[in-house]
């Protein structure tokens, strides 16, 4: 699994810490860190919660197209 640089970039653009995003999405900071590093594949529900917290769509953050 590849690193999720789009997630990290979207979070950084809002000047949001991993901890703040984790709280908004209802998970631990370690979970957000693992998703960004590509060590954890989040559930669809978690993907949706993360996108809502960032004001982004699933395609913006999680789509791996060319």
pLDDT in tens, the chain (66 residues): 679 999 999 999 999 999 999 999 999 999 999 999 999 999 999 999 999 999 999 999 999 775
CATH architecture entry for 5-62: Orthogonal Bundle (1.10)
Alpha-carbon span 22 to 5, nearest angstrom: 16
pTM of the entire structure? 0.91
pLDDT confidence of residue 64: 79
């Amino acid at each position: 699994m590849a690193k999720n640089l789009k997630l990290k970039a979207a979070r950084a653009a809002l000047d949001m810490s991993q901890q703040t995003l984790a709280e908004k999405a209802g998970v631990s900071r370690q979970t957000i860190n693992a998703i960004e590093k590509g060590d954890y594949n989040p559930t669809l529900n978690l993907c949706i919660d993360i996108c809502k917290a960032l004001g982004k769509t699933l395609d913006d953050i999680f789509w791996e197209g060319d």
